Copies of this chain bind each other. A is one copy, B any other.
Amino acid sequence: MTDALPIDHPPRFDAAFRRQLEQLYRWRRDVRRFRVEPLDEGLLDRLIQLTMLSPSVGNSQPWRFVKVDDPDRRAAVRSSFERCNQAALAEYEGQRAALYARLKLAGLDRAPAHLAVLVDHATDCGGRLGQRTMPETLTWSVVGAVHALWLLARAHGIGVGWVSIIDAERVRDVLAVPATWSLVAYLCLGWPEEEHLDPELERAGWQGRISNLDGVVVQR
């Protein structure tokens, strides 16, 4: 593929690109340890713009993005995380509880950028095509977009951490968004303090890789 091709010419992705894409998949991490230096504001917008190329059911494009810069709102989200994390810890026992307590599960304290990604359940866009049978696909379209943003960010050297140990309704209220929107992902973004190939939870001894092709079923 060369840059000289016009935009309406289908690109031919080559083996070198595919090797780099594979490296991107291998090195994408859920990052919780950030340097405090800010991201370039224009860069985050550029990432969001490209993220909007993601697939969506019926081309509904139901993703909504909220950049959370306000310190009070950030503090409220962090409080929600701390409450939920304490409650989660209380459900583990013995060694597992001790290990859980040592895990660093969010980068809310230092990440320079906080981005909430929400789904608008009330959108008319797409005319509900594909949603009659599987209405979850509206929200799932936003999940795919979050994955797209994650890979793009890593291609720029930027780490992303997805914080799911929060009260999604509480966070929605903190953000004061329309009632028809619900939270899909609260993301921390920033330059990572370190880069590593093994997932954070694997290196901490919580959960290693289990996936392999043994689990693929073929029905002939």
Contacts and interface: CB of A to CB of B under 8 A. Distances in A.
A57 B208 CA distance: 12
Contact of A156 (B13, B60, B202): B13
Interface in A131-177: 131-134, 136-137, 139-140, 143-144, 146-148, 150-152, 154-157, 162, 164-168, 175, 177
A56 to B, nearest CB: 9
A211 B64 CA distance: 9
Contacts of A67: 216-219
| Residue from the set A12, A20, A24, A87 with the largest chain B CB neighbour count within 10 Å | A20
Interface string A61-84: 101111111100100000000001
Contacts of A65: 215-217
A151 to B, nearest CB: 7
A186 to B, nearest CB: 10
A10 interface: yes
Counting every copy of the chain, the complex holds 2
A184 B18 CA distance: 26
Interface string A21-40: 11111111010000000000
19 contacts: A3-B19, A10-B27, A13-B24, A13-B155, A21-B151, A25-B50, A25-B53, A52-B211, A55-B150, A58-B207, A59-B208, A69-B219, A69-B220, A73-B219, A126-B207, A127-B206, A130-B165, A134-B164, A140-B143
Q: Nearest 4 A-B pairs (CB), nearest first?
A: A52-B211, A10-B195, A144-B147, A59-B207
